[in-house]
Chains A and B, each alone.
Chain A
Amino acid sequence: MGLDSALHEIRHLDDLSSKDTPTHRLDARAKVLVTLFYLVSMLSLGRYEVSALLPFAAFPLLLAVQGEVPLALLLRRAALALPFVIFVGIFNPLIDRAVHFHVGPLAITGGMLSFASIVLRSLLAVTTGLALVAVTGFDQICRALGRLGMPTTLLVQLQFLYRYLFVLADEALRMLHARVQRCAKNNHPTLREYRTLLGSLLLRTLDRAGRVHQAMLCRGFDGQMPDLRPTTTFGPAEWRFCAIWGLFLIAVRILNIPQHLGNLPLYLGGKAGGLFP
């Protein structure tokens, strides 16, 4: 996966945010708040939890389905993060060999559990982030963060980062291509070449920043980004969205539902079996 196709994928995802479904129409603050609460409650689960994570998949999946985001597309994007995640967790099974339980002849160690937990968590977090972008749009998310109290300077920077990421990446790609064309062998750039490349990219960025600033001044910029879009309000639909997902997240955070389901025969049979055997 090259830089250009990765960028293309992000653009495509942002395109989906121009759809018009009830989920898209929700005030972005509601979606951002629930997403933040989702990340906190999911990421704060214990490091060996695997089954408790499963119900958390409901939020991104339902968000995507209601926002008419093709699930296959969403999961494919999320899978892009997999190599990084696996790299982060790969050593866990080697380090933590304490056996937690057996599945048939197979001994499940703490390392295996925490590895699975890391991979699952990361995938959930990435999928949720992508689903949020697809049903809200990057600039609406920025705007919601602003209305939720994020400082303007930070926000303007975030918007500009997103706007010029593409321009910058295009410039980097052009420079890489130009380099490849002049290389006899198609070898990878050396560390030193990367350094020069980054250096000139930085200079070009500074130049560009100067010109953009001039263009803004020419049209009367005075430090405040004006905002034309109609402001959505936090109405009943938003409260309902927050309440339903809030309660759901609290429930799945406190109760390990899959484990309860697994224990159901025990409860029904009346045999003694604690909540967490």
Chain B
Amino acid sequence: MSHHIVELKGLSFRYPDGTPALDSIDLTIHHGESVGLVGANGAGKSTLLQHLCGVHVPQAGRVRVGDVPVLPSTLGEVRRTVGLVFQDPDDQLFMPTVAEDVAFGPLNIGLPPEEAAQRVDEALAQVDALHLKHRPPHRLSGGEKRAVAIATVLACLPDIMVMDEPSANLDPHSRRLLINLLRSFHHTKILATHDLDMVLDLCERTVVMHKGRIMADGPTGELFSDIELLTACALEPPLRMQGCPLCGAGKEVVSELTVPSASG
């Protein structure tokens, strides 16, 4: 296994209708890292993530995952390494019941049904959703759908978890559960989001995107205290770092930031 688990070199991408989405992206992510990919709507976060699991194949530049370049011929291998949690769980949950949906990946890689069933139980237990096993996905709440969508990816045992706006549409409680859940994963994680508070909780490293380019890449606490940078990228510092207008507290959060470095 290569030390650089994800490597993007000079990656550019334009949608068929001509919209430029990515402009010569260079990015390297190491094994076991937890990286926040932040940017305003339309910054190109989703497009970048979709390159990591071969939804898009690079138009210019290259993408490498592990030791494998992302090419039409290697998609099978790439998709076994990278698990993408889609932004809208309704896109990801298409089988009649939760159990069958979680089993979809394992069965597709040819596991025998008993083994697949065991993976289903393990993955659902990991996201604390074992009780939803026999429910039809369209009847779940937003938070439950999200948890199950994550389980469908976990069941494929990816090395890298890639998530697109995982905290979107969640109420505060579900969001908190999600953050705790994600913290318990030891995968290499890439979270695309504009929920900067979540990134502050989960990622030691942050990549800031704006209009298809990478504007900054560094330790989360450092970047988030750079108000100028955030404003230029149409972002706001996390609420927790904005401080209390009455007592002025909050700024010191930055110095207290001790994001546990993930075990690799």
Interface residues of A in 225-255 (CB under 8 A from B): 226-229
Q: Chain B contacts of A221 at CB under 8 A?
A: 104, 108
Once the chains are docked, how many angstroms separate the CA of A216 from the CA of B84? 11
Residues B100 and A219 in contact, CB atoms below 8 Å apart = no
Interface residues, chain B, with chain A CB atoms under 8 Å away: 50, 53-55, 75-76, 79-80, 83-84, 86, 88, 90-92, 94-97, 99-100, 103-105, 107-109, 113, 116-117, 120, 134, 136-139, 152-153, 156
Q: Chain B contacts of A164 at CB under 8 A?
A: 94
Subset of 14 A-B contacts with CB under 8 Å: A138-B96, A163-B138, A166-B138, A212-B91, A214-B55, A214-B86, A214-B91, A219-B108, A221-B104, A226-B104, A227-B100, A228-B103, A228-B107, A228-B120
**Residue A3 at the B interface, CB < 8 A?**
no
Q: Chain B contacts of A138 at CB under 8 A?
A: 96
> Closest chain A residue to B75 by CB distance?
A217
Please name the 9 residue pairs, one residue from A and one from B, whose CB atoms are nearest each other, closest first. A226-B107, A220-B108, A139-B96, A219-B105, A211-B91, A228-B103, A215-B92, A166-B138, A214-B55
* Minimum distance in angstroms from A272 CB to a CB of chain B: 60
Neighbour of B113 across the interface among A159, A167, A216, A228, CB < 8 A: A228
**Residue A160 at the B interface, CB < 8 A?**
yes
Once the chains are docked, how many angstroms separate the CA of A230 from the CA of B59? 45
Q: Chain A contacts of B92 at CB under 8 A?
A: 212, 215
Q: Chain A, interface size: which category?
A: 20 to 34
Q: Chain A contacts of B109 at CB under 8 A?
A: 220
Once the chains are docked, how many angstroms separate the CA of A228 from the CA of B114? 9
Residues B94 and A220 in contact, CB atoms below 8 Å apart = no
**Residue A21 at the B interface, CB < 8 A?**
no
Once the chains are docked, how many angstroms separate the CA of A69 from the CA of B96? 21
Neighbour of B90 across the interface among A11, A162, A167, A218, CB < 8 A: A167
Once the chains are docked, how many angstroms separate the CA of A218 from the CA of B164? 14
Residues B116 and A228 in contact, CB atoms below 8 Å apart = yes
Once the chains are docked, how many angstroms separate the CA of A227 from the CA of B37? 36
Residues A215 and B94 in contact, CB atoms below 8 Å apart = yes
Once the chains are docked, how many angstroms separate the CA of A139 from the CA of B100? 11
Neighbour of B94 across the interface among A14, A216, A222, CB < 8 A: A216
* Minimum distance in angstroms from A81 CB to a CB of chain B: 23
Residues A228 and B108 in contact, CB atoms below 8 Å apart = no
Residues A160 and B104 in contact, CB atoms below 8 Å apart = no
* Minimum distance in angstroms from A20 CB to a CB of chain B: 11
Residues A219 and B152 in contact, CB atoms below 8 Å apart = yes
**Residue A208 at the B interface, CB < 8 A?**
yes
Given known contacts A18-B134, A211-B86, A220-B76, A228 and B117 CB-to-CB distance under 8 angstroms: yes
Given known contacts A160-B94, A212-B91, A221-B108, A11 and B139 CB-to-CB distance under 8 angstroms: yes
Residues B99 and A228 in contact, CB atoms below 8 Å apart = yes
* Minimum distance in angstroms from B114 CB to a CB of chain A: 10
Q: Chain A contacts of B83 at CB under 8 A?
A: 218
Once the chains are docked, how many angstroms separate the CA of A229 from the CA of B134? 11
Interface residues of A in 121-172 (CB under 8 A from B): 138-139, 159-160, 162-164, 166-167
Once the chains are docked, how many angstroms separate the CA of A218 from the CA of B113? 20
- Cβ proximity bits A95-112 to B, threshold 8 Å, 1 near / 0 not: 000000000000000000
> Closest chain B residue to A143 by CB distance?
B96
Residues A215 and B86 in contact, CB atoms below 8 Å apart = yes
* Minimum distance in angstroms from B77 CB to a CB of chain A: 11
